[in-house]
């Protein structure tokens, strides 16, 4: 029997899909990533927005088109939020929420819905199957922040951390040139079990892989963490979630920091890692955002000088605190997305320009149209000529900005 696992949403979902594939493989099944003809489809869903939920339901129909007689198992956040939206769809034999997704191997022939209570401890019974040039290792799940716009804590539960020893064991087993440590909020790593992110970094000293971190909160940037990172083979890229550059909006979002605290974190990073890239997420048009509040965000973005920004228009999410608050009209949101997008493009180009004439290490991911493509340590996308191989870290001299990154040549 062939099982195809299809992933929607975040890198944590992608990692958990790898766990599902590993569990099926260990049980003797043929299991693959992606939507391709199969006997059983496992759809690992997302519910961060209404659109994500819609795509999750749409994936059921896409699976049926590949095999009208298939069996479909739907798991993940969209099920945790509303299991009934999948339970009665044709070919769906089982639905399950976010807890213990690998248990579907033993339940595959059963009918019904199971959103299952989220466990108080992290689930690390199965290491994920790694199929990409870089390995993703989940170190934490859940979130304690309860931002007023976000549904995730209600779906993923409270923060739960894996033990450092288990994380290190999986990183070593992955045998990857680069390992990305991910979770729903890795800034909370260790706070539930007496360990810390700094201790995890110290434990990874000497492991033969370069380490990259997933999204962080500004409050976790401490001298202790920065020193621990400086002692390992670390990729100096910090994705510090901002969401707004205006303190009054941050307060409505329940973000628990100020722009001053955020800027101090960026300054501390650049003292230890002068060439580091700092990237972020920003939501525009959040409930009641005035023009002055938005312009305050624009000025703060220019002050920080990011390497890249993910800009999103606010989308109300049922079940969140902000769902019934007054919304900003869609035309205003679109205009603000475009204006902030122009600032983003200028900063991204300036960041790429800083590398011109310099040599950096690039992890080659694929070759297309005669050029290798991959990411430098600082998360600059690089297109380069010369000899390399998929999964190989290659010395590349940057020539100039190019497309969404920079062009270079092997040294």
Q: Cα-Cα-Cα-Cα dihedral of 238, 98, 64, 8, to 10°? A: -10
Q: Identify the weakest region by mean pLDDT among 111-115, 153-157, 214-218.
A: 111-115
pLDDT tier for residue 126 given thresholds of 50, 70 and 90: low
Residue range 276-313, pLDDT digits in tens: 999 999 999 999 999 999 999 999 999 999 999 999 99
Q: Identify the weakest region by mean pLDDT among 96-100, 120-124, 196-200, 217-221.
A: 120-124
**120 vs 24: CA distance, rounded Å:** 25
Q: Which residues contact 335 (CB under 8 A, 6 or more apart)?
A: none
Which pair of structure tokens corresponds to residue 340? Answer: 């902030």
Average pLDDT over residues 198-207: 97
Tell whether the model's pLDDT for residue 112 goes beyond 60.
Answer: no
How is the beta sheet containing 277-284 ordered, strand by strand? 237-239, 277-284, 308-313
Of the candidates 184, 351, 346, 381, the one whose C-alpha atom is nearest the C-alpha of residue 270 is 351
Tell whether the model's pLDDT for residue 109 goes beyond 70.
Answer: no
Tell whether the model's pLDDT for residue 124 goes beyond 60.
Answer: no
Q: Which residues contact 260 (CB under 8 A, 6 or more apart)?
A: none
Q: What is the pLDDT of residue 127?
A: 56
**311 vs 249: CA distance, rounded Å:** 16
**326 vs 43: CA distance, rounded Å:** 34
Of the candidates 223, 158, 208, the one whose C-alpha atom is nearest the C-alpha of residue 184 is 158
**374 vs 396: CA distance, rounded Å:** 11
Tell whether the model's pLDDT for residue 231 goes beyond 60.
Answer: yes
Tell whether the model's pLDDT for residue 59 goes beyond 60.
Answer: yes
Average pLDDT over residues 186-209: 96
Tell whether the model's pLDDT for residue 11 goes beyond 80.
Answer: yes
**352 vs 347: CA distance, rounded Å:** 9
Residue range 65-93, pLDDT digits in tens: 999 999 999 999 999 999 999 988 999 98
Q: What is the pLDDT of residue 58?
A: 94
Which pair of structure tokens corresponds to residue 139? Answer: 């170190």
Q: What is the pLDDT of residue 39?
A: 92
Residue 351 in 3-state DSSP?
Answer: helix
Give percent of the chain with pLDDT exceeding 70: 94
Q: Where are the domains of the chain?
A: 2-114, 135-353, 359-410
For residue 355, give the DSSP letter. T
Tell whether the model's pLDDT for residue 114 goes beyond 60.
Answer: no
Q: What is the pLDDT of residue 125?
A: 54
Q: What is the pLDDT of residue 72?
A: 93
Q: What is the pLDDT of residue 113?
A: 41
Q: How far does CA 338 lie from the centroid of its chain?
A: 23
3-state secondary structure 139-208: CEECCCCCCCCCCHHHHHCCCEECCHHHHHHHHHHHCCCEEEEECCCHHHCCCCCCCCHHHHHHHCCCCC
Q: What secondary structure does DSSP assign to 27-95, as a single string?
A: TT-EEEESS-S-SEEEEEE--SSHHHHHHHHHHHHHHHHH-TT-EEEEEEHHHHH-THHHHTSTTEEEE
pLDDT tier for residue 115 given thresholds of 50, 70 and 90: very low
Average pLDDT over residues 142-158: 95
Give percent of the chain with pLDDT exceeding 90: 86
Which pair of structure tokens corresponds to residue 167? Answer: 């994380």
Average pLDDT over residues 145-165: 95
Where is pLDDT greater, at 124 or 323? 323
Domain 2-114 falls under CATH 3.40.50.12160:
yes
Average pLDDT over residues 39-57: 93
Tell whether the model's pLDDT for residue 262 goes beyond 80.
Answer: yes
What kind and span of H or E run contains 269? helix 259-272
Tell whether the model's pLDDT for residue 98 goes beyond 50.
Answer: yes
Of the candidates 275, 239, 273, the one whose C-alpha atom is nearest the C-alpha of residue 352 is 275
Cα angle, residue 326 at apex, residues 325 and 332 outer, rounded to 5°: 135
Q: Cα-Cα-Cα-Cα dihedral of 362, 365, 367, 368, to 10°? A: -110
> Which CATH architecture does the domain made up of 135-353 adopt?
Alpha-Beta Horseshoe (3.80)
Where is pLDDT greater, at 115 or 99? 99
Average pLDDT over residues 102-115: 64
Contact at 8 Å (CB) between 144 and 153? Answer: yes
Q: What is the pLDDT of residue 131?
A: 56
Average pLDDT over residues 323-331: 95
> Which CATH architecture does the domain made up of 359-410 adopt?
Beta Barrel (2.40)
């Amino acid at each position: 029997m062939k099982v195809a696992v299809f992933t929607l949403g975040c890198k944590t979902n992608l990692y958990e899909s790898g766990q599902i594939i590993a569990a099926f493989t260990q049980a003797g099944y043929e299991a693959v990533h992606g939507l391709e003809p199969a006997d059983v489809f496992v759809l690992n869903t997302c519910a961060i927005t209404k659109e994500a939920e819609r795509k999750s339901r749409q994936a059921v129909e896409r699976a049926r088109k590949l095999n009208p007689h298939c069996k479909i198992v739907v798991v993940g956040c969209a099920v945790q939020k509303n299991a009934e939206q999948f339970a009665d769809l044709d070919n769906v034999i089982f639905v399950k929420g976010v807890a213990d997704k690998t248990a579907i191997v033993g339940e595959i022939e059963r009918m019904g819905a199971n959103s299952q209570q989220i466990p108080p401890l992290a689930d690390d019974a199965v290491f994920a199957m790694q199929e990409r040039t870089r390995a993703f290792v989940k170190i934490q799940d859940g979130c304690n922040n309860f931002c007023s716009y976000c549904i995730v804590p209600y779906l993923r539960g409270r923060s739960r951390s894996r033990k450092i020893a288990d994380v290190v064991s999986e990183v070593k087993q992955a045998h990857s040139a680069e390992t990305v440590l991910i979770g729903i909020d890795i800034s909370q790593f260790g706070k539930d079990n007496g360990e810390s992110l700094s201790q995890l970094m110290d434990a990874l000293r000497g492991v033969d892989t370069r380490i990259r971190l997933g999204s962080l909160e500004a409050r976790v940037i401490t001298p202790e963490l920065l020193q621990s990172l400086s002692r390992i083979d670390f990729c100096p890229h910090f994705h510090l979630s901002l969401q707004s550059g205006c303190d009054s909006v941050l307060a409505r979002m329940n973000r628990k920091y100020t722009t001053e605290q955020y800027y101090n974190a960026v300054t501390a990073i650049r003292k230890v890692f002068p060439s580091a890239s700092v990237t972020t997420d920003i939501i525009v048009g959040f409930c009641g955002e005035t023009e002055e509040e938005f312009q305050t965000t624009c000025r703060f973005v220019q002050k920080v000088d990011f390497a890249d920004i993910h800009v999103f228009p606010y989308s109300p999410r049922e079940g969140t605190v902000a769902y019934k608050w007054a919304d900003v009209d869609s035309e205003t949101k679109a205009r603000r997305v475009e204006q902030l997008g122009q600032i983003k493009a200028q900063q991204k180009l300036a960041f790429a320009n800083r590398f011109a004439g310099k040599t950096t290490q690039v992890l080659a991911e694929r070759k297309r149209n005669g050029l290798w493509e991959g990411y430098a340590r600082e998360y600059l996308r690089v297109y380069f000529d010369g000899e390399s191989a998929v999964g190989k870290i290659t010395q590349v001299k940057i020539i100039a900005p190019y497309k969404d990154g920079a062009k270079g040549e092997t040294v």
